[in-house]
Amino acid sequence: MSKKISSRAEDYSQWYNDLVIRGGLADYSPVRGCMVIKPYGYAIWENMKTVLDKKFKDTGHVNAYFPLFIPKSFLSKEAAHVEGFAKECAVVTHYRLMNDPNGKGIVVDPDAKLEEELIVRPTSETIIWHTYKNWITSYRDLPLLINQWANVVRWEMRTRLFLRTAEFLWQEGHTAHSTSQEAIAEAETMLDVYADFVEKWLAIPVLRGVKTPNERFAGAVETYCIEALMQDGKALQAGTSHFLGQNFAKAFEVQFMTKENKQEYVWATSWGVSTRLIGALLMAHSDDEGLVLPPKVAPLQVVIIPIFKNAEELNAVFDRVSSLMKTLKAQDISVKLNDDDQTRPGFKYAQYELEGVPVRIAIGPRDLVSGTAEVARRDTKEKQIVQIDDLETFVPALLDEIQANMFQKALKFREENTRRADTYEEFKRLLDEQPGFILAHYDGSPETEDKIKEDTKATIRCIPLNNPLEDGVCILTGKPSTQRVVFARAY
Amino acid sequence: MSKKISSRAEDYSQWYNDLVIRGGLADYSPVRGCMVIKPYGYAIWENMKTVLDKKFKDTGHVNAYFPLFIPKSFLSKEAAHVEGFAKECAVVTHYRLMNDPNGKGIVVDPDAKLEEELIVRPTSETIIWHTYKNWITSYRDLPLLINQWANVVRWEMRTRLFLRTAEFLWQEGHTAHSTSQEAIAEAETMLDVYADFVEKWLAIPVLRGVKTPNERFAGAVETYCIEALMQDGKALQAGTSHFLGQNFAKAFEVQFMTKENKQEYVWATSWGVSTRLIGALLMAHSDDEGLVLPPKVAPLQVVIIPIFKNAEELNAVFDRVSSLMKTLKAQDISVKLNDDDQTRPGFKYAQYELEGVPVRIAIGPRDLVSGTAEVARRDTKEKQIVQIDDLETFVPALLDEIQANMFQKALKFREENTRRADTYEEFKRLLDEQPGFILAHYDGSPETEDKIKEDTKATIRCIPLNNPLEDGVCILTGKPSTQRVVFARAY
């Protein structure tokens, strides 16, 4: 607590880890690549879940739950899917342990070997489409609009807290439709749901676009995505929504009877966001003092710190603010009075700054005499003196202002860090000297994309939706191009 | 839909499966012992979660998330725990798949073998107490009151939908305290939370008690439980709360500095309920027509079925009930109007009966003339004619009455099926002829309990809290006993 966290300028990567660990959001675990999400971090995830779940239900979806394990053979049924997903997975091979016959501890019982290995789901398309086969026979069974909140495991070699962990929490929507158009509309609707959530709740502006074939989800016909820019100029994919065509329906033989009495394969989408969003939230807004949380997802929105020397002074503050606290709570604003008498106010200030609590109110004996309080906002660190009687209207308005300001600040940052490059030299120089989104022409071929990635580690983050057409030439090959796409180095 | 489900008298076990499958609650999966929880079943679980989560938070708990995987060696650190849990587990041995060098499909990459196998958590005491070691140093860090909503896996040989599945969903609370008394109070508080939830929301009366050492959780000093009686006279353990003493703190070396500056081991509890509660809910209340759901957890509480021959008649009903629907929704009552014109009303009635929707309202053209509706309640199947204008007060009151009636009915059933046995012959005869709870004396020895279980398959479900003392003799050995305990065959 006493030691400051690393600064962004000093060591961006360490700064991020300090935010997560010292901010009390997560902890390393004894299992390689897996983390413990601590109560404060989990509370942010719960707030995200609550909002997203309501948005899913408001758009007609219901929740369900599918098994954690997937039979190994399922993964190879969809040709592209197996290439993209079947490799780095946790594999269950046995179902029993036994006492070590040679001494201490326990060992795997060699007799309890599974006939077919089970894979811990890296994503659930395969088991869900296997199941949908039994649920869908007629157009009357469609659309099927199902979401699942679950844990998934991908055995990543290089992991980072929240951003890339072997196990992570997410939601995955899996929908089935009778027409291609309806499925595409669904994939687009869910992209909009994600974009709206990330912009209005997390206060992070996003680009909406589609991926190039190289970056597409394994098994998708089109992958829609939202891309955000972090403070170090690297991009972060914040959510994806896939139009799967009939690929999974064909792989799992899911047909339906149309109104015209014909058998047709079902059209599909899938879409997901994960605890990775917490990583995005941290990197988009936080500063060298610690977290800066947007009020709409902050577990604690307002903290009141009484300045007191004895119980009498504490009680005086408490009496003065108790109706304020009640009024704020009635408006669903979370507020807490920190009456710890073992810790100095300055220490508390630093702690709440580190934890990113949006509004801090300090009230001492002299404030009570003058009827005022000192209100500090976390985003700009400005302080002002406010009449205590005005706080019940001032605080909700300030929370709204902070939310709006955080978005505007992040938007300004993105605008300032979105540049155009017309030559490969300029492109490479920008990546190294002023990293951010780079709008550039390319010739549309996977080979060019691969070569640029190999040279520069930059990838095409997306082709923005409603992208303006513009004649130009590919920065690498000089071949003609009709639009700029968005490049960046990415998380 | 057209075929009736099996009756309880005919085949109780098939009746239960029919409820689950035909009621649309869950489905079998291709993974042995794992089920798919369908949207209707999951909606019940969501309702349960919402209520429980609020109760946990109201009693001071916060949520967090710990890894799915547990290093194998952790399981053997607590001696009793390993005996109870380390055996039937899913074991992850590899982390990569590869294309089969001999042809099609994919195989486990033999080079990707884990140094130490990982166990898919059957419960999380070990990994959580390993983590708590880093979080607890002083009495100021206590109590630590954490809950986790998660999936767990126990490789059960004989599985039944909801009641016993290899993977299931649950919550597990894990708390740390500075004194034994405080931990015991916590375990008892959570038992009360569970009992209150099961009785007031699920409408199932429960016995509160403690387990005998034979039936205790592996690693616990005391296991508190709530036990419910199903319609076939078998008991079902609906929730447990464990006082773990210092067993896990000692196994994982978790000590804290007391106010008096001494190092002491931390005191622990853990407590959990699972999707098994859905099984209890089904078996406690349902009948030969299908599910009977208590209004407080029913995904749909009220369904309105318009009787109509054309769009005009449908619209007339819709216009008449739209303000009613709005009023009910404003009171958080879920209500739906089924305007499907492809299905006859009688078919809809049967379907909603199968699904256990508490209140059904039918309104046709003649009803509109008379200003009345036919209201049918699912629990008693009684119908009555009610003025449409009265429905907005009648329906909420009826839902409350159904909730209360279902509890009373289940309580009466339990009272009628709780008997005393004073001899072993009587005990055995009751188990076969009139199964239910049997109150009997036993001599308190694990051997007697084992012998009775071996002879009769009945176990001691609990020693009720505040059990009246009564001198008697053990039904098996004739040795003296000071209290009756509750025996039953159990799920």
pLDDT digits over B382-436, tens only?
999 999 999 999 999 999 999 999 999 999 999 999 999 999 999 999 999 999 9
Answer whether B89 touches A (CB < 8 Å). Answer: yes
Same domain (yes/no): A375, A465: no
Task: Please indicate, yes or no, if residue A406 is contained in any of the structural domains.
Answer: no
Mean pLDDT within A443-453: 96
Q: Which residue of A28, A66, A78 is the best one to mutate when testing the B interface, meaning the one whose CB has the most B CBs within 10 A?
A: A66
Per the CB < 8 A criterion, the answer to whether B454 and B448 are in contact is: no
Helix axes B276-285, B39-58, angle to 10 degrees: 110
Structure tokens at B104: 């099609």
Same domain (yes/no): B238, B378: no
Range of the domain at B333: 302-398
Structure tokens at B311: 């769009």
In this complex, do A42 and B65 lie within 8 Å of one another by their Cβ atoms?
yes
CA separation for the pair B165, B14 (Å, rounded): 17
- Cα B182-B185-B188 angle, rounded to 5 deg: 155
Share of chain B above pLDDT 90, in %: 93
CA separation for the pair A244, A78 (Å, rounded): 11
Q: How far is CA B292 from CA B229, B285, B359, in A?
A: 16, 6, 11
Mean pLDDT within B325-330: 97
Answer whether B153 touches A (CB < 8 Å). Answer: yes
Element (H, E) at A184: helix A180-200
Answer whether A64 touches B (CB < 8 Å). Answer: yes
Mean pLDDT within B460-469: 96
Tell me which chain A residues have a C-beta less than 8 angstroms from the C-beta of B82: 106
Answer whether A165 touches B (CB < 8 Å). Answer: no
Average pLDDT, chain A: 96
Mean pLDDT within B326-344: 95
Task: Please indicate, yes or no, if residue B307 is contained in any of the structural domains.
Answer: yes
Chain A contacts in chain B segment 167-196 (CB below 8 A): 167, 169
Answer whether B218 touches A (CB < 8 Å). Answer: no
* CA proximity to B320, closest of B360, B361, B349, B363: B363
Name the minimum distance, in Å, from the CA of A369 to any CA of chain B: 34
Task: Please indicate, yes or no, if residue A291 is contained in any of the structural domains.
Answer: no
Tell me which chain A residues have a C-beta less than 8 angstroms from the C-beta of B62: 39, 42-43
**Phi-psi region at B422: left, alpha or beta (left = phi > 0; alpha = psi -120 to 50):** alpha
Same domain (yes/no): B143, B196: yes
Same domain (yes/no): A343, A448: no
Mean pLDDT within A53-68: 98
Mean pLDDT within B220-245: 97
Instruction: Supply the pLDDT for residue A76.
Output: 84
Tell me which chain B residues have a C-beta less than 8 angstroms from the C-beta of A93: 91-94, 108
Which residue from A27, A131, A169 is facing B134, i.e. has the nearest CB?
A27
CA separation for the pair B418, B410 (Å, rounded): 12
Task: Please indicate, yes or no, if residue B407 is contained in any of the structural domains.
Answer: no
Task: Please indicate, yes or no, if residue B93 is contained in any of the structural domains.
Answer: no
Q: Residue A86 — very low, low, confident or very high, per pLDDT cuts 50/70/90?
A: low
CATH number at residue A329: 3.40.50.800
CA separation for the pair B136, B132 (Å, rounded): 6
CA separation for the pair B87, A107 (Å, rounded): 10
Which residue from B63, B71, B155 is facing A31, i.e. has the nearest CB?
B71
Write the DSSP symbol of residue A65.
B
Same domain (yes/no): B65, B132: yes
Element (H, E) at B462: strand B459-464
CA separation for the pair B303, B384 (Å, rounded): 15
- Number of separate domains in chain A: 3
Q: Could you report the predicted ipTM of this complex, rounded to two decimals? A: 0.96
pTM for the model: 0.96
Helix ranges restricted to H, B158-201? 180-200
Q: How many CB atoms lie within 10 A of CB B260?
A: 7
Q: Is the pLDDT of residue A2 over 60?
A: no
CATH number at residue A477: 3.30.110.30
CA separation for the pair B357, B148 (Å, rounded): 31
Instruction: Supply the pLDDT for residue B387.
Output: 98
Same domain (yes/no): B248, B333: no
Same domain (yes/no): B334, B452: no
Same domain (yes/no): A62, A205: yes
Which residue from A62, A68, A169 is facing B167, i.e. has the nearest CB?
A68
Which residue from A68, A76, A86 is facing B151, i.e. has the nearest CB?
A68
Q: How far is CA B66 from CA A330, B9, B82, in A?
A: 33, 45, 19
Same domain (yes/no): B277, B339: no
CA separation for the pair A140, B4 (Å, rounded): 22
B407: burial class by Cβ within 10 Å (0-12, 13-18, 19+)?
A: buried
Which residue from A95, A98, A131 is facing B90, i.e. has the nearest CB?
A95
Task: Please indicate, yes or no, if residue B84 is contained in any of the structural domains.
Answer: no
Average pLDDT, chain B: 96
Structure tokens at B320: 């008449």
Same domain (yes/no): B18, B150: yes
Same domain (yes/no): B425, B341: no
Q: What is the pLDDT of residues A205-246, one digit of tens each?
A: 999 999 999 999 989 999 999 999 999 999 999 999 999 999
CATH number at residue B178: 3.30.930.10
Cβ neighbours for B481, distance < 8 A, ≥ 6 positions apart: B441, B442, B443, B444, B471, B472, B473, B474
Mean pLDDT within B24-29: 97
Q: Which residue of B31, B57, B121, B139 is the best one to mutate when testing the A interface, meaning the one whose CB has the most A CBs within 10 A?
A: B31
Tell me which chain A residues have a C-beta less than 8 angstroms from the C-beta of B72: 97, 106, 108
Instruction: Supply the pLDDT for residue B99.
Output: 86
Share of chain A above pLDDT 70, in %: 99
In this complex, do A65 and B46 lie within 8 Å of one another by their Cβ atoms?
no
Task: Please indicate, yes or no, if residue B7 is contained in any of the structural domains.
Answer: no
Mean pLDDT within A452-463: 97
Whole-angstrom distance between the N-terminal and C-terminal Cα of chain A? 28
In this complex, do B68 and A153 lie within 8 Å of one another by their Cβ atoms?
yes
Answer whether A347 touches B (CB < 8 Å). Answer: no
Tell me which chain B residues have a C-beta less than 8 angstroms from the C-beta of A147: none
Tell me which chain A residues have a C-beta less than 8 angstroms from the C-beta of B75: 97, 106
Write the DSSP symbol of residue B395.
H
Structure tokens at B161: 């939908």
What CA dihedral angle connects A378, A383, A385 and A391, to 10 degrees?
-10
Structure tokens at B59: 């009693």
Q: Which residue of A42, A95, A140, A141 is the best one to mutate when testing the B interface, meaning the one whose CB has the most B CBs within 10 A?
A: A95
Q: Is the pLDDT of residue A488 over 90?
A: yes
Same domain (yes/no): A238, A306: no
Which residue from B38, B67, B169 is facing A29, i.e. has the nearest CB?
B67
Task: Please indicate, yes or no, if residue B406 is contained in any of the structural domains.
Answer: no
Helix axes A391-416, A276-285, angle to 10 degrees: 90
Tell me which chain B residues have a C-beta less than 8 angstroms from the C-beta of A110: none
Q: How far is CA B220 from CA B216, B245, B486, in A?
A: 7, 7, 21
Q: Residue B1 — very low, low, confident or very high, per pLDDT cuts 50/70/90?
A: very low
- Determine which of A41-45, A96-100, A417-421, B117-121 has the lowest per-residue pLDDT on average: A96-100
Cβ neighbours for B152, distance < 8 A, ≥ 6 positions apart: B120, B121, B122, B123, B124, B167, B168, B170, B172
Q: What is the pLDDT of residues B183-214, one digit of tens each?
A: 999 999 999 999 999 999 999 999 999 999 99
In this complex, do A64 and B42 lie within 8 Å of one another by their Cβ atoms?
yes
Q: Is the pLDDT of residue B490 over 80?
A: yes
At B383, which amino acid appears? Answer: K
Instruction: Supply the pLDDT for residue B85.
Output: 67
Q: Is the pLDDT of residue B347 over 60?
A: yes
Instruction: Supply the pLDDT for residue A1.
Output: 46
Q: How far is CA B425 from CA B146, B443, B465, in A?
A: 47, 17, 27
Q: What is the pLDDT of residues A327-361, one digit of tens each?
A: 999 999 999 999 999 999 999 999 999 999 999 99
By C-alpha distance, the chain A residue nearest B105 is A76
Chain A contacts in chain B segment 17-56 (CB below 8 A): 27, 29-31, 34-39, 42-43, 45-46
Name the minimum distance, in Å, from the CA of A131 to any CA of chain B: 7
By C-alpha distance, the chain B residue nearest A144 is B39
Answer whether A404 touches B (CB < 8 Å). Answer: no
In this complex, do B43 and A65 lie within 8 Å of one another by their Cβ atoms?
no
CA separation for the pair B488, B169 (Å, rounded): 26
Element (H, E) at A377: strand A372-377
Answer whether B96 touches A (CB < 8 Å). Answer: yes
Which residue from A46, A118, A130 is facing B63, i.e. has the nearest CB?
A46
